[in-house]
Amino acid sequence: MVLSNVYDENYQKARAEEIPPCLSSPKRRDLFTAIQLALGWELVVLSSPPRASVRRHGRWLPPVDTRFDRFSQHVCANWDLPKLRIPFSWLMYAIHVGRHVRRGDVLMMDNFELVYVLAAWFCRLLYGNRILLDYEDGKHLTDKSWARLISGPAEVLGKPLIQGAILAHSALGERLAEKIPKITVPGFYKPAAARISLDRQGPVRFVYAGSLDKPRGIDLLIGALPHLPNQGWQLDITGAGPLEDSVRQLANTSRFQGKVFFHGVLPSQAHAELLAACHVGLNLQLSSDPISSVTFPSKIFSYFSAGLEVISTMASQVKTLLSDACTYPAAETPVSLASCMARRVGLEGSAKTPSSLLDRFTIQNTSRTLCDFFQRVQDSN
């Protein structure tokens, strides 16, 4: 039983109102698939409804039974009132989880979120369930907003529950007890989705997909564009975030019209089609930002799975994990990034990443290592 608020187009259609995009869906979908392959168990996602993007007045949200990819998903009811939505969700979600979970079920929490921790404690006390942690990111460790007042206690309350952890970044394991079994799963490579040939007529197409904020380096990319050649390239940007307006304005300037295209958040199929039409994926997460010590940019694996070359910073242990699979700018500056991109514009043809560097990140190979992890969890309890 997965305690997670992840969702995809299935829930978006059922909700019938605009809600924020769930950018972590591709990684979670692949992780759930690998877990199901490793265990052979049914996997069910239990969720609390996300807030609306635009609506500000209160609304009763009824429970929804839907699917997240191939997995059953049950979303609880909630009274979506401004300022009261979060405390209402703690109670409604705990009741929801208690109704679906039975003795003997294994629960996996999606990070240290208080809504999951409270529900997990309820099930541990009621049924004695085993609790695992899907530690995808430690953003609560770097958050300086009021939300830290909730996420900090959530980690303190949640740690005694954890009997095994799947980590997106190995440094996250340092915050957990040494005796707890751990495994690092930064992302997934799916070679079946790779293109046979990357050769293209016309400009070299770069793509940036993901959060549009400073920690992920979107302002670094914006600063690099004036240093690129006048011809021979195109940039596609997709995603959402605080700097979305800056990206939109950039795409509409006369200097970059016909070169820079902003697509917003795309549905899964349209997103896949965009990646398939491009040559080079950009990951620009900044080493100087604290987020890079507690998360891994899984977009890199989406690029590789689409058959793209990847230009990436070395933040978040990227070079340690991927070695020469990526091309790395000499420094995390606009001029250095532009120089790296310009060299690619000047190249004839393209260089395909050797699959031997990525094979250990396939869903099948990850499921084999997860089998060992789950056995260690079993043996430790």
The CATH superfamily holding the domain 191-357 is Glycogen Phosphorylase B; (3.40.50.2000)
| Best CA proximity match to 112, nearest among 92, 86, 90, 133 | 133
Look up residue 82 and give its amino acid. Answer: P
Look up residue 20 and give its amino acid. Answer: P
| Best CA proximity match to 299, nearest among 188, 218, 225, 380 | 188
pLDDT at residue 196, as a whole number = 46
| Best CA proximity match to 94, nearest among 63, 71, 115 | 115
Q: Residue 284 phi/psi, 5° resolution?
A: -125, 25
Distance CA 338, CA 220 (A): 10
| Best CA proximity match to 318, nearest among 298, 304, 302, 334 | 298
Distance CA 47, CA 121 (A): 16
Distance CA 349, CA 52 (A): 45
pLDDT at residue 131, as a whole number = 98
Task: Please tell me whether the overall predicted TM-score, pTM, comes out greater than 0.75 for this model.
Answer: yes
3-state secondary structure the chain: CEECCCCCHHHHHHHCCCCCCCCCHHHHHHHHHHHHHHHCCCCEEEECCCCCCCCCCCEEECCEEEEECCEEEEECCEEECCCCHHHHHHHHHHHHHHHHCCCCCEEEEECCCHHHHHHHHHHHHHHCCEEEEEECECHHHCCCCCCHHHHHHHHHHHHHHEEEEEECCHHHHHHCCCCCCEEECCCCCCHHHCCCCCCCCCCEEEEEEEECCCCCCHHHHHHHHHHCCCCCEEEEEEEECCCHHHHHHHHHCCCCCCCEEECCCCCHHHHHHHHHCCCEEEECCCCCCHHHHCECCCHHHHHHHCCCEEEECCHHHHHHHHHHHCECCCCCCHHHHHHHHHHHHCCCCCCCCCHHHCHHHCHHHHHHHHHHHHHHHHHCC
Same fold, 2-188+365-379 and 191-357: yes
Distance CA 340, CA 125 (A): 55
Look-up of token digits 């679906």 = 100
Strand partners, 61: 78
* Phi-psi label, residue 258: left if phi above 0, alpha if psi -120 to 50, beta otherwise: left
The DSSP 8-state label assigned to residue 67 in this structure reads: E
Output the six-digit token pair for 268.
């899964």
Q: Which fold has domain 2-188+365-379?
A: Rossmann fold (3.40.50)
Q: What is the residue extent of each domain of the chain?
A: 2-188+365-379, 191-357
pLDDT tens string, the chain, 381 residues long: the values are 999 999 999 999 999 899 988 888 989 999 999 999 999 999 999 999 999 988 888 899 999 999 999 999 999 999 988 778 889 999 999 999 999 999 999 999 999 999 999 999 999 999 999 999 999 876 555 565 656 667 778 899 999 999 999 999 888 898 899 999 999 999 999 886 545 455 556 899 999 999 999 999 999 999 999 999 999 999 999 999 999 999 999 999 999 999 999 999 998 889 999 999 999 999 999 999 888 888 899 899 999 999 899 999 999 999 999 999 999 999 999 999 999 999 999 876 565 566 678 999 999 999 999 999 999 999 987
pLDDT at residue 339, as a whole number = 96
